[in-house]
Every structure is written in structure tokens, then in C-alpha cells.
Structure 1
């Protein structure tokens, strides 16, 4: 089973939650919006430190380092079977100067032709309601968990 590790970055303003999400780059995702956004995350192996992998992926996909008081969330399984581990952290990042690492993909799929694309092509802050629509449906569980944690405090 493939696994990923990622960061759910959030901030609170006037009692409302806002979430930082990324949009995957490349032709497949170009015109997809609702359900296409994600927390910054990437593939990991089970024997590595998943929080460290999540921090590394955040930096690769945004060009920014992230630190703070991380809260481990319960993992979720996406539609294709990938298990995603995530940590929530409160903070803020400026999106105007972000940059993503480049990756090489086969395009069209299985054609043998290679294309270099940015792993992430857009970064944005969303209100809780917007984020729940934009994010990959399985990852919505991370937002719901975080908001439940705060409602109990």
C-alpha cells in the first residue's frame, strides 16, 4: 500500500478557521478545481519518520519551511487506496513568493513521452467551508478532525 505524509496548515481569524491548500500541477489537473486541492504531502516509506517526511514535502511544494506545535491527526485512505498521514499546525505563510519543485511525468499516460511539470501550480488560503469543497474528498476528514479537536477545548 502506498502511503503519504502531509501538513494541514491552518490559521484562525475572528473565531473562523482558514486552511492552506495546494493544487497539483500538470495537464491532468489543469482544469480541475473542486475536489482537486490537497494538503501539501508526498509519498513516504513506512520506515521513515513521517512527520519529517511531511515537513520535507511542504518545503518541496512551497519553497517554505514549516515549524510549530504539530498535532497528529488520524490517517485517511483516499479513493485509489493511498493511506495519508497528516499533522495539523497553526501558522501563516505568504503565498505570493512560493515555488514548487519540478517533477517528470509520462504524458499522455503510458505514452513513454516525458514532460517536466511543477508538482504544485497554485497555493491558496481557503475558509473552512471553501476548503471542504476544494480538498480531495477523503482529506476533508483532516479538516473535520481538527475542528472537532478545537470544539472540545
Structure 2
């Protein structure tokens, strides 16, 4: 069992017809470049003991998207243990962001593998607003529960 912990923020907005859309990001780097299904994520990241999950969620949002988290009430969507063993905690906040304004953070990795060449890649290479039923299959499987919890909260069942 992993003792790694991760926290993130799922931004949602209401549509003109009374529906909801969520903002998710496609994971960057060569390993995800040709994938769509289960290749998108809620902006999130790991945190260490001594940092609160809330602080980490806000920091990671800023690092991954290059924009501050939207102002507003954070809805606690709880936590979920991922297949890797990592424990992920997510909040949701209502807000509007223009995907064009996003400046993703980057990471460095050896690519191609065993080449000795280090490349720099965006943590998230694109973001988009999606209806929950469209977002669900795009999200990595372990994060789909947070969409379900958000919809339950918004529809008064959670």
C-alpha cells in the first residue's frame, strides 16, 4: 500500500440549459500523446506531511494550469484510493476559466526510454470543458468517482 497522497480541484460551471460542465486536463508527455480514453485528469498533485490537502490542491492547480484556483466555496468530494495505492482527495469549486489562458507546468523525463536524452514536457497538454457523461470515460478510471460525487452533491443527493 502506498503512503503517497495527492490532492486536487475539480472546477465546474453551469450551462445555459441548467446542466453542468467540468474542466479536466489531458495528461502531457509522450506516454499519453496518442491516448484519449482514460488519459485525462483532474488537476492534482502529491503533497508531503506538513502541507494540508487543501493547500496542496490550490498549489497544484496553479502549478499545472498556470492560473489561480477560482474563488468560491470548495465542496469536499472526499478521497479515493487509486489502483496504485495513492490516496487522492478532491474538492470541487464553481468557476469559469478560459482554456486559452492556461500555461501548463512542465516536467522532465528521459525520452525516448534508455536514450540518455532528457526532454521537457507539459504536465497537462490541453484542457477542456466537458459534460460529466463525456468526461467520465476520458478521466483515468480512479478519478471517475469524484464526478459521480459532484453530480450527487449538485443534485441534492450527497
State TM-score, norm by structure 1: 0.93
2:151 matched residue in structure 1 = 147
Corresponding position: 1:74 with 2:70: no
1:57 matched residue in structure 2 = 60
Unaligned runs of 5+ in 2: none
Unaligned runs of 5+ in 1: none
* Structure 1 residue 47: Cα displacement: 2.5
Distance 2:153 2:48 in 1: 28
Distance 1:112 1:9 in 2: 38
Distance 2:51 2:75 in 1: 18
Corresponding position: 1:16 with 2:9: no
1:100 matched residue in structure 2 = 104
- Check the 8 A contact 1:100/1:121 in 2, yes or no: yes
SS of alignment partner, residue 99 of structure 2:
coil
Q: Which runs of 4+ in 1 moved over 2 A?
A: 106-113
Distance 1:115 1:121 in 2: 15
- Check the 8 A contact 1:62/1:98 in 2, yes or no: yes
- Check the 8 A contact 1:70/1:89 in 2, yes or no: yes
| Residue-pair matches, total | 153
* Structure 1 residue 15: Cα displacement: 2.1
SS of alignment partner, residue 60 of structure 2:
helix
* Structure 1 residue 110: Cα displacement: 5.9
SS of alignment partner, residue 68 of structure 1:
coil
